[in-house]
Structure formats: C-alpha cells, structure tokens
Structure 1
Amino acid sequence: MSSTPFRYIPGQFYWSFLLPKYWMLWIAILLLMLLAILPWAIQRRLAHILANICWKYLKSRRKTTLKNLKVCFPEWTVAKREQQGKQVFHDMMLGIFETLNAWYCPSWFKHRVTIEGLEHITQAQQQGMGILLMGTHSTLLDAGGYICAQFFDPSVVYRPQNNPLLDMLVYRCRATIYQHQIDHDDMRGLIKNLKAGQAIWYSPDQDFGLKQGVMAPFFGTPAATVTAHRRLLKISKAVAIPLYFYRHGDESDPRYTILIEPIIPNLPSDDELDDATRMNQIIAQQLRIAPTQYMWFHRRFKTRPEGYDDIY
C-alpha cells in the first residue's frame, strides 16, 4: 500500500499549527504584532536596547562582524570598527521594526521615500525584458521591498524558513508586498517569471561555496561568489539592474532612498570570473553608501580553498 508524501504548500494554514509545540511561536507572533503598532520613538528605543543585548551575548556574530569589517575596511581604526560593528547590530534591530511596520503599519512610510533611477526599470519593462534586481542582504529586510513596491511591482527570490509556522507567517506578510515569491530552488519558476517580464529581487552576495561560484575579489579579498545569475540571465534573456535602498537622515524621523542603476552591460559575458568581479565591485560600491546597513554578521569569507588564509 503506497501513500502520497506530504507536500507543504507555502502560505497555507495547517491545523497542526495549533499543536502545543507551536504555542510559544504564536505568542511571539502576537507580541510582534503589538510591537508593530508602537510609536517609532518607542520602537527605536527598544531596538537600541535589543541591539546592546545581542552585541553582548551573541559573541560569534559579534566576532564575525568585526572580522568582516576589518577585512573590508582596513583603513578604519580598531575603535571605529567597534563603533561601526555595534551600529550594524543597531541597524539590524531597527530593520526588524521597520519590517514589522511594512507588514502591519505600512502607512508609517508615507512621505518618507524617494527613488532615483526608476526609468531604468520602466524602459526595460517597456521593451518586454525581464529584470534581475541585483541587491544585497540589507538590514532593512522586507521594509526595503515594501518601499520599492510603492513605485513598481517587485517579485523576490526567497529561502523558506525551517519552521513551517514561521514560514507561513513570513510568506503571508510578504504576499502584501511582492507580486511573486519564488523559492530559491525553483529555477524553472524563476526563469518563467523572468521571461514574463517580471522584476525580481535577487541577492548574489553570500558565500555558498565554490560548487555554485568562483573565487572573486570582494573589497579586495577573494570570496566565494555565486554565478547562478549568469545562467538565469542567459536562459531568460533578462537584464541585470543594480538595486540598493537605505535609511538616512535623523534617526528619530528617518527617510529612505531607493537607488536604481543602469543595466549592467555585457552580463553575462564569456568570462565567469570577470562577471563575478564586476558584480562584487557594484555591491561594494553600494555598501559604502551606508556600510552598517548590511548583514556583516554573515560569514562572507567562510570558503577558503587551499592556499588561502582563514578569516574567522
């Protein structure tokens, strides 16, 4: 007797989510919803407190952050790296509250957002081109996606959460922002949406080893750099457009800017290493605008082939 294997459908509610093992997560979800309706002044203060706690107790993440900053910004003093490292954690916590606002109180962003370079997306779509929006893992999280959605219809490539209830929550909240959510393993779906002319946010800025990439300089240091987007662009005939968003101004009354750059020329080329190097240069240039609004606590240089010194 054969049985059909269970297939989890993203965003769907299952009665098993009411079992006791999920009760603490439900409580956390309700707490997050309450935090989302707090005034920004209180959210900002809570972010500061939580950032200090994380900086003190998440020693591994703190160490990784400082190592990354040392590698990428060697001109900084030890004192500046420490100060900027703490700010990374602070921006991460602010980003969590900004994401909650995007999910539950999106009107908070009204009159706070400006955009530069929207014509690059508009022109490409008018020509029927699909677009890979080459972005980064920003501490703004889904707040960045929301502010982009005020000007065009973005889709996103995502990695499912390990906890199915949390995945359902995130998927449903993101459904109010993104036109499509495409599993990072669903290459067929990604290509299909690109061929349909979608603008899809894709972040090629993490270390997934050399099975999916090459060693290319990132801030002058060799780093495993993914190259899957080259194949996506080639198969779908889409174009790559750099996208960056960041917070600026007075933190008590912040503003947000979306920066869209021209199509990256001749991508993909015949040189995989050159393409990876160019992409890393674009990302590095973006990150210098607001250095602490990047997830530096990820081990960007964890892959070290023979002959390369360990970073961490």
Structure 2
Amino acid sequence: MSKKPDYKPGEFQWSFLLPKYWGIWVGIIFLMILAILPWSIQHRIARVLGSIAFKSLKSRKQTTIRNLELCFPEWSEAEVLEKSEQVFIDQMLGIFETLNAWYCPKWFEGRVEIEGLEHIQNAQAQGKGALLLGTHSTLLDAGGYVCAQYFDPDVVYRPQNNPLLDMLIYRCRSTIYTNQIDHDDMRGLIRHLKNGRAIWYSPDQDFGLKQGVMAPFFGVPAATVTAHRRLLKMTKAEAIPLYFYRDGNISNPKYKVLIEPPVENLPSDDELDDATRTNLIIERQLRIAPTQYMWFHRRFKTRPNGSERLY
C-alpha cells in the first residue's frame, strides 16, 4: 500500500529541489520536449520504444502473453505474440497521447467523436451521479481529456509513491479533471456522487477477495472488486459503462468515446451476479480494441482454492 503523503495533493515542496530529485526534473523536461514533436515522429518513437520494452521487460511480457492466451483462446500462437507486442506499443503511444493532452491539447481538435452522451446528461438532469464503469486503458489521461471535451469528469486515482511525480501528475491532471479523488477517500467519492458528479471508475483489477468475489472474466475465474456496488447503493448514482479508444490509421488517428445506457438493477441482491455483469461489460469494451488495455497486470493472480497458479 502506498504511504499517505503529509502534504496536500499538487502542493509544491521546497525539498523537490534537492539533488535526489534532479534526475526526475531532467526526465520531465525531456518528456515536455517529446510532447511538442509532430505526431509523425511521436508514433514512430513509440513503436520503437514499445518493441524494446516488449523484449526487455520479460516478466511483463510473459504476463501479457498469458493473459491474452487465457482471454482469447481463438487466437493462434502467432496472433497472441503479435498482439502482445502491440500492447506495449499501444502503451507507449498512450504515453505520447497523454503528454499531448497535458501540454499540446490542440492536437486532438477534430479527432474526437462521442456516442451516448445523453445517458450521462439524463442521469445528471435527474440529480443523480454517474459512476462511469471503464478500464485501465493504455490511453491513460488522453482518454480523460477527450471525454472532457463533452462533459465534466472526475477521476479516482492512486497517489504516486514518489512525491515529486505525484505533484507533477496531479497538476497536469487538474487541467483535465475537476476533481481527483484518492482511491482511499470513500467519503469524498460518495460526496461527489451524491452531488451529481460523473466519476470515471475502473473495477477491472485483481485486489484479492477481501474487496471482491470470484467471477468469470473472459470465462476465467477472477477476483472482481465489488466496491462499486456499495457506492451505487449509498449514493443512488447510475452505473454507466464508458469506453474510449483510438481508431483508424495510426498516422492520422481518431478517438472515440462510447457511453452505454445505465446498467439496470445494479446493484442487485446478488453480489456474484453483479460482479459477473460488470466483467461482461468490461469484456465487451475490450473486444473493441483488445491491445489498448494494460494486459501486463496479473489479472488472474488470485486463484480459487485448489486451483493451480496461472503465472
């Protein structure tokens, strides 16, 4: 668990000027330079860096391959390998897209389309919050930025362990999100939902069974968080699936935001059924652009009693 900072999020500390942080400052300046490069150069660099990362980060590579083998058994061995490398390339593309969102947002002009915005608008018109069920996309904050062109989103985030990085990322994200809610701040999350806010929330990672139940994900039993059920029950907010992805030719990409109708009867009286339906929503989203998801996380780390490990 990350240590709670003893300062306000986004607050500058004079200690950030100490020599131990100089390397990070140099890295930030380098990233800002990359952000002003033309997309034609950015996506070429991303391809090279993604391929290098795929070959170098052997543990992440094997996790990605294993996840895709489990979730897409219809793919051949060659397809799994090709798609696995593309995951790393898409992650690098997502970093450049996030830098563009932070520092050169005009690049997205004329490149964004949205479908289903009325579902969020209808919920808020009724005085309800909208818990936007999404995924850990490789688009990172670029996805949040394209959403912010149409509605006012908040985000749940996990603070960085490095305080300087946490400050810098928090400040950059403040240009996109009205509110950034610490993942441990349940009171804040509840308050914002009760106030009718639209909050991007991703219940798609394995945090064990203290916070969830085993439910099928692409047909494989997976630890699935259920905190969103409690949030929805306490706030009377609507559960609205949200997905954003890159589409079209990589040299001239478009960005699409897909918002689906509110999920009926969520939460129900059946915790397992709710978790299963949530996973089905995420599956449906991921099949649109399978490699634009962070498959290098061990989604199936927790196993049912008596089952062999998958990694």
| TM-score interval for Structure 1 and Structure 2 normalised by the shorter chain | over 0.9
Deviation at 1:300, TM superposition (A): 0.2
Cα shift readout 1:28-60 (whole Å, capped 9, x = no counterpart): 000011100000011011101101110111000
Cα shift readout 1:200-253 (whole Å, capped 9, x = no counterpart): 000000000000000000000000000000000111111100000000111000
How many residues align? The count is: 308
* DSSP 3-state at the match of 1:247: strand
* DSSP 3-state at the match of 1:259: strand
* DSSP 3-state at the match of 1:79: helix
Counterpart Cα distance in 1 of 2:81 and 2:223: 26
Partner of 2:285: 286
Q: Does 1:200 align with 2:199?
A: yes
Output the aligned Cα RMSD.
Answer: 0.9
Percent identical pairs in the alignment equals 73
In structure 2, runs of 5+ residues without a counterpart are: none
In structure 1, runs of 5+ residues without a counterpart are: none
Partner of 1:145: 144
What one-letter code is carried by the residue in structure 2 that aligns with 1:39? P
Deviation at 1:7, TM superposition (A): 2.1
Deviation at 1:6, TM superposition (A): 7.7
Deviates more, 1:300-309 or 1:115-124: 300-309
Partner of 1:309: 308
Query: Matches of residues 47-86 of structure 1 in structure 2 within 5 Å?
Result: 47-86=46-85
Partner of 2:10: 11
Counterpart Cα distance in 2 of 1:251 and 1:7: 42
What one-letter code is carried by the residue in structure 2 that aligns with 1:51? G
* DSSP 3-state at the match of 1:285: helix
What one-letter code is carried by the residue in structure 1 that aligns with 2:140? L
Counterpart Cα distance in 1 of 2:284 and 2:197: 26
Counterpart Cα distance in 2 of 1:305 and 1:218: 13
* DSSP 3-state at the match of 1:269: coil
Cα shift readout 1:60-119 (whole Å, capped 9, x = no counterpart): 000000000000000100000000001100100000000000000000000000000000
* DSSP 3-state at the match of 1:210: coil
Partner of 2:231: 232
Partner of 1:28: 27
What one-letter code is carried by the residue in structure 2 that aligns with 1:147? V
TM (norm. structure 2) is 0.98
* DSSP 3-state at the match of 1:309: coil
* DSSP 3-state at the match of 1:86: helix
* DSSP 3-state at the match of 2:187: helix
Counterpart Cα distance in 1 of 2:245 and 2:35: 20
* DSSP 3-state at the match of 2:305: coil
Counterpart Cα distance in 2 of 1:258 and 1:295: 18
* DSSP 3-state at the match of 1:216: strand
* DSSP 3-state at the match of 2:145: helix
Residue 6 and residue 63 in structure 1: after superposition, are their counterparts in 2 closer, same or farther (change >3 A)? closer
Partner of 2:87: 88
Deviation at 1:261, TM superposition (A): 0.1
* DSSP 3-state at the match of 1:304: coil
Counterpart Cα distance in 2 of 1:209 and 1:224: 6
Partner of 1:181: 180
Counterpart Cα distance in 2 of 1:58 and 1:163: 22
TM (norm. structure 1) is 0.98
Counterpart Cα distance in 1 of 2:5 and 2:148: 34
What one-letter code is carried by the residue in structure 1 that aligns with 2:263? I
Partner of 1:124: 123
Counterpart Cα distance in 1 of 2:250 and 2:185: 38
Counterpart Cα distance in 1 of 2:5 and 2:113: 45
Deviation at 1:309, TM superposition (A): 2.2
Q: Does 1:157 align with 2:156?
A: yes
* DSSP 3-state at the match of 1:215: strand
Counterpart Cα distance in 2 of 1:292 and 1:298: 13
Deviation at 1:305, TM superposition (A): 3.1
Query: Matches of residues 103-118 of structure 1 in structure 2 within 5 Å?
Result: 103-118=102-117
Deviation at 1:167, TM superposition (A): 0.3
* DSSP 3-state at the match of 1:147: helix
Contact 2:238 2:262 in 1 (8 A): yes
Runs of 4+ displaced beyond 4 Å: none
Contact 2:213 2:225 in 1 (8 A): yes
